A = this chain, B = another copy of it.
Amino acid sequence: MLTLNYRDSRPIYGQIKDGLRRMIVSGILEPDEKLPSIRSMAVDLAINPNTIRRAYAELETEGFIYSVPGKGSYASHGADAARMRSHPDRQAELVRRLRDLVAELRYLGLKDSEIIAMINEGVGQ
């Protein structure tokens, strides 16, 4: 389901957050689909449950998943996530990053048409 990169300087719990968020927003995990349990994922990735727990807790705070004690954790609906308190800021942050990325790709010599093409090429992947 997920792979960790120990060479990466980013913390493990951050890699897990990004990986799960990526699967949720790209539709690989459908709304209300059950995520792996904290303990099972800890076994699979051979890391401490507390580290998984931290990722899940933050994803829940940010509205990408919801957890039911005793049952499990589940992917949120995009519309629900968008209503989250944190999300006006989140969206502004995403747009800022998007502009920076595009600026760097232009700096490296890519044309806008190529950049837009690359975005759509990746749909569903």
Name A residues whose Cβ lies closer than 8 Å to a Cβ of B. 18, 21-22, 24-26, 78-79, 81-82, 87, 90-91, 94-95, 97-110, 115-116, 118-119, 122, 125
Which single residue of chain B is at the shortest CB-CB distance from A96?
B122
B82→A98 contact, CB < 8 A: no
B118→A21 contact, CB < 8 A: no
Contact of A103 among B26, B95, B101 (CB under 8 A): B26
Which single residue of chain B is at the shortest CB-CB distance from A107?
B25
What CA separation (Å) do A9 and B42 show in the bound complex? 24
What CA separation (Å) do A107 and B78 show in the bound complex? 5
Given A105-B94, A108-B87, CB of A100 within 8 Å of CB of B22: yes
Which single residue of chain B is at the shortest CB-CB distance from A79?
B109
